Copies of this chain bind each other. A is one copy, B any other.
Amino acid sequence: MEIRAARGDDWGQIWPFFARIVAAGETYAYDRDTQEDEARRIWMVRPPGAVAVAVDSGAVIGSASMYRNRGGGGSHVASASFMVDPDHAGKGAGRALGAHFLVWAREQGFRAAQFNSVVETNDRAVALWRSLGFVALAAVPEAFEHPRDGRVSLLVMHTFL
């Protein structure tokens, strides 16, 4: 498992699992029919943001899109979005990308990291962020319509760096 900075031509390997994950509608508050040009605009952030990919046997199997959470007086707090190809779950790509994000954020001088909307029933993600030091500051009630679980909470998760 290699974690490296994304190149523009990695998008072609990110888009298939981005589309599949977003179409499932279980973990991201993006429109389930998000089109490729909008998806690329969302994910492939430009500096001072950065995009990383997890590469396994030469294939991009996951990605992290990393950026400041807010501008102005909020620009010392980082945030990020993560996706791992469901066909490659369980190989540690999510954990490796999460750890990479925290290193990146510290290197960039961020003082904290915040995830604004972690679906509470996304057990794998919640457990991963807790294991990396994040705490849930709030559960916004009924904020996410899950296709099977109904209206569940979105967690605001946070850690100082």
A residues with a Cβ closer than 8 A to B are: 22, 25-26, 28-32, 34, 69-77, 111-112, 114, 116-117, 119, 137-147, 154, 156, 158, 160
The CA-CA distance from A138 to B158 in the complex, in Å, is 11
Known: A30-B71, A76-B145, A114-B143. 4 other contacts (CB 8 A): A29-B72, A73-B145, A74-B143, A137-B156
Residues of B within 8 A of A146 (CB): 73
> Are A116 and B116 touching (Cβ within 8 A)?
yes
- Knowing A30-B71, A31-B71, say if A140 contacts B111 (CB, 8 Å): no
> Are B114 and A72 touching (Cβ within 8 A)?
no
> Are B72 and A30 touching (Cβ within 8 A)?
yes
- Knowing A76-B145, A156-B156, say if A70 contacts B117 (CB, 8 Å): yes
- Indicate which residue in B30, B72, B111, B137 contacts A138 across the interface (CB closer than 8 Å): B137
- Knowing A138-B156, A156-B138, A156-B156, say if A74 contacts B112 (CB, 8 Å): no
Smallest Cβ-Cβ distance to A137: which chain B residue:
B138
Smallest Cβ-Cβ distance to A152: which chain B residue:
B73
> Are A111 and B142 touching (Cβ within 8 A)?
yes
**A78: shortest Cβ distance to chain B, in Å?**
11
Residues of B within 8 A of A29 (CB): 70-75
Which among A73, A111, A141 has the greatest number of chain B C-beta atoms within 10 A? A73
- Knowing A116-B116, A156-B156, say if A73 contacts B137 (CB, 8 Å): no
